Amino acid sequence: MLISVILAVIIDFIIGDPYSFPHPVKLMGRMISSEEKLARKITRSKKGLKLAGFIIVIINISLALLRHICY
CA distances, 26 to each of 4, 23, 33, 53, 57 (Å)? 25, 5, 11, 19, 16
pTM greater than the 0.75 cutoff: no
CA angle, 26 as apex, 23 and 28 as ends, to 5°? Answer: 110
The 10s digit of each residue's pLDDT in 10-26 is 998 998 877 777 888 88
34-51 pLDDT tens trace: 999 999 999 999 999 999
The pLDDT of residue 21 is 77
Q: Which runs of consecutive H residues, i.e. helices, occur in the chain?
A: 2-15, 24-42, 46-70
DSSP state of 32: H
